[in-house]
Structure 1
Amino acid sequence: MAKSKVYFTDFKTKPGYNMLDKLENLVKKAGIETIDFKNKFVAIKVHFGEPGNLAYIRPNYVARIVKLIKSLGGKPFVTDANTLYTGRRSNALDHLQAAYENGFNPLVLGCHVIIADGLKGTEYREIEVNLKHTQKAKIGSAIADADIIISMNHFKGHEMTGFGGAIKNIGMGSGSRGGKLFMHSSSKPVIKTSKCVGCGMCVKSCAQLAITLNEKKKAVIDYEKCVGCGQCVAVCQFGAATVRWDEAASIASEKIAEYTYAVLKDKPNFHINFIMNISPDCDCWSHNDIPIAPDIGIAASFDPVALDKACVDLVNSSAFTPAGSAFETAKHIEIDGKIDRFKSIHPDTDWQVALKHAQEIGLGSLEYELVHV
């Protein structure tokens, strides 16, 4: 398979040439203008960020891409799908309010904001893919009905998949609630009772009422009720609730890749990763920790697999680490002679699974050429 091109720019600016200008120049160099946008509905898939979390992409960047697409004749809208877990983004009304609070509103963006899977997360289209785990993917209607897909992704760590980039944002983020349940259901967390202090945060945060405290004040999961959303993993401050990285969790990562395939199937698509505010965990949680690496830059490509792989390599090649970050305090794990920041902060995950499966199903290539812009 031929190497895919990934275009990259750093955060160095000068008078008269700011980061918004650099972003537009980057995507043009990467070939976004070769897409025929004329009178096409363009879904710009982003993550609005859970209120309280400040690591999400600034809406100013999204507004610049909206303006560019409009200039090319497209009809863009900014979108995300409802979450499976509790929080401010589990239904369209609360989700829109959260998006507006974080700056993702029509006044700032210059286009409409649409919750892809409707009021309660039940509006979806089934897209037939007939892959290893997924026969028909349940994709939020607004995304499924769009003519063109543009993803704008905050590149960061992730407690279930190791890192979150284009594939995670597109695959998991575009699924309806039923689709998310399907992707999550293979992998369910486990409680390490020796570390559980009985604080009850996991009990309060479980939307399925699947966690209780036993007579010894230890958390217990009812796996008949658990849907594997991972919220208990995110809220536990003591390392008691953890991802069970076994065959089932590998399946979850492969399902995410297959859902990404479904979203992009037979559609022009283009992807942008923002390698900045590289928090150890997902933007789904109402907090963000100290970054595990310095701000690196922005990368863009038509190939989401090559893009994510290039971003992993860029993060792992960075020398400086902010003081007190999760990476600094983690036991460092090496892969191919390099310290792997994502494996170090989430040792029970394997970020390579989704990328390898994505390549196998024809979503993209792990081989890439990095082009500096």
Structure 2
Amino acid sequence: MDASTVYFTDFRCPVGTSLTEKLRRLCLVAGIKNIEMDGKFVAIKMHFGELGNLAFLRPNYAKVVADLCKEQGGLPFLTDCNTLYPGSRKNALEHLTCAQLNGFWPMTTGCQVLIADGLRGTDEVEVPVPNGEYCKTAKIGRAIMDADIFISLNHFKGHEATGFGGAIKNIGMGCGSRAGKMEQHASGKPVVQQELCRGCRHCAKECGSDAITYGADHKAFIDEDKCKGCGRCIGACNYDAIYNPNSSANEELDRKMAEYAAAVCNGRPCFHINLVQDISPNCDCHGENDAPILPDVGMFASFDPVALDQACADACLSATPLPNSQLSDNLARPGWNCHHDNFKDSNPNIEWKATLEQAEKIGLGTRKYVLKKI
């Protein structure tokens, strides 16, 4: 496969310019207007940030992308899927409230916000994974798959489970329904925290495998032998009594995530944007954000999400760690086994390269790229 083109601009803004103007110009030069959008639904996938986290992308950036789509006759909407874990985005109502509190309203973004997998994270479409080795099909939020065009607007940062979170992470894990997220983590079954269970029986009504029973105390119990690990019961519980205790950070997770991203992008026009700023060590799913581990780098855009993530990763690997950060603290520890890898030295138990390797192997894109600065 030939090298893909990745476009880049830094965050320098002389007097009279702005970051939103730079992002607009980046998208235009990268070719976003080569996509025929007239009368078509355009899903703009992004992360609205967990409440308490301030590292997520500002809604101003989303408006730039939405406005570009509308200029081309497109019908854009911002979207994400519900989370697998309890938090402020575990169902569509709380997710929308969280998005609004973090500034994502139609008047600030220029378009509507839709939660792609519905109220409880169960509104999904099962789609084939092209050349899939770990997943033959992927369970994706329905609204995302209903869109004619797919755009990812990504905060590129560190991540405690996958090393970094960029386009592939935002697409693969982010577009998965609750069952899709369970399949990617694929490390155990949900369990009930007995002290939080109120015996409302909503989880049993949602369970498709008759795995949930109730004891004399009216508390729910999940039979692991019957449980298929779909995670629907997590969304059914309004009291955070059910959770997945076995989330893993391993190579298989990275490779499944790449395959899910391929399922989302396959067969329709796609465009991807990474903003490498506020490079926190952990995901924006956290209810906080630690100090950045690296200085801000810039904005990147490409039609190829693999080349895009590779270019951003390379930029981060060559950056100098910031003082008073998780990364610099680790590097300063006596006897620290330095990996000479800013992601792995920040979160040692990760295998981030597997994501890009698998994505390239199954044909999502190429790690070879030509970087064009504008």
TM-score by length of 1: 0.82
Whether contact under 8 Å (2:59, 2:104) holds in the other structure is yes
- Between the aligned partners of 2:26 and 2:355, the Cα distance in structure 1 is 26
- Between the aligned partners of 1:96 and 1:242, the Cα distance in structure 2 is 27
Whether contact under 8 Å (1:9, 1:372) holds in the other structure is yes
| 2:96 aligned partner | 96
Summarize the Cα distance change of 1:333–1:141 in structure 2 as closer, same or farther, 3 Å threshold. Answer: farther
- Between the aligned partners of 1:44 and 1:15, the Cα distance in structure 2 is 30
| 2:311 aligned partner | 310
Deviations 1:237-270 (A, max 9, x none): xxxx99866xxx2221111111100100101000
Q: Which moved more, 1:170-179 or 1:122-131?
A: 122-131
Deviations 1:163-191 (A, max 9, x none): 00000000000011111110111489xxx
Aligned partner letter, 2:123: E
Deviations 1:184-242 (A, max 9, x none): 11489xxxxxxxxxxxxxx99xxx9xxxxxxxxxxxxx99899799xxxxxxxxxxx99
Aligned partner letter, 1:80: D
Summarize the Cα distance change of 1:91–1:3 in structure 2 as closer, same or farther, 3 Å threshold. Answer: same
Aligned partner letter, 1:15: V
- Between the aligned partners of 2:2 and 2:338, the Cα distance in structure 1 is 28
| 2:87 aligned partner | 87
Summarize the Cα distance change of 1:179–1:243 in structure 2 as closer, same or farther, 3 Å threshold. Answer: closer
- Between the aligned partners of 1:228 and 1:90, the Cα distance in structure 2 is 15
Q: Is 1:47 aligned to residue 52 of structure 2?
A: no
SS of 1:97's equivalent in the other structure is: helix
Q: Is 1:367 aligned to residue 368 of structure 2?
A: yes
Whether contact under 8 Å (2:274, 2:299) holds in the other structure is yes
| 1:3 aligned partner | 3
Deviation of the 1:16 alpha carbon: 2.4
| 1:357 aligned partner | 358
Summarize the Cα distance change of 1:135–1:46 in structure 2 as closer, same or farther, 3 Å threshold. Answer: same
TM-score by length of 2: 0.82
Aligned partner letter, 1:52: G
Summarize the Cα distance change of 1:226–1:140 in structure 2 as closer, same or farther, 3 Å threshold. Answer: closer
Q: Identify unmatched segments of 5+ residues in structure 1.
A: 189-202, 209-221, 230-240
Summarize the Cα distance change of 1:227–1:128 in structure 2 as closer, same or farther, 3 Å threshold. Answer: closer
Deviation of the 1:134 alpha carbon: 1.3
| 1:211 aligned partner | none
| 1:71 aligned partner | 71
- Between the aligned partners of 2:271 and 2:337, the Cα distance in structure 1 is 32
Whether contact under 8 Å (2:151, 2:272) holds in the other structure is yes
- Between the aligned partners of 2:58 and 2:164, the Cα distance in structure 1 is 19
Summarize the Cα distance change of 1:93–1:365 in structure 2 as closer, same or farther, 3 Å threshold. Answer: same
SS of 2:15's equivalent in the other structure is: coil
| 2:141 aligned partner | 140
Summarize the Cα distance change of 1:187–1:361 in structure 2 as closer, same or farther, 3 Å threshold. Answer: farther
Deviation of the 1:15 alpha carbon: 2.4
| 1:265 aligned partner | 266
Q: Identify unmatched segments of 5+ residues in structure 2.
A: 190-194, 197-202, 204-222, 232-244
- Between the aligned partners of 2:319 and 2:230, the Cα distance in structure 1 is 33
SS of 2:56's equivalent in the other structure is: coil
Aligned partner letter, 1:313: D
- Between the aligned partners of 2:342 and 2:228, the Cα distance in structure 1 is 30
Summarize the Cα distance change of 1:297–1:112 in structure 2 as closer, same or farther, 3 Å threshold. Answer: same
SS of 1:152's equivalent in the other structure is: strand
| 2:235 aligned partner | none
| 1:18 aligned partner | 18
| 2:284 aligned partner | 283
Whether contact under 8 Å (1:156, 1:277) holds in the other structure is yes
- Between the aligned partners of 2:230 and 2:330, the Cα distance in structure 1 is 25
**Deviation >3 Å, runs of 4+:** 222-229, 241-245, 331-335
Whether contact under 8 Å (2:185, 2:248) holds in the other structure is no
SS of 1:271's equivalent in the other structure is: strand
| 1:34 aligned partner | 34
Q: Is 1:300 aligned to residue 310 of structure 2?
A: no
| 2:206 aligned partner | none
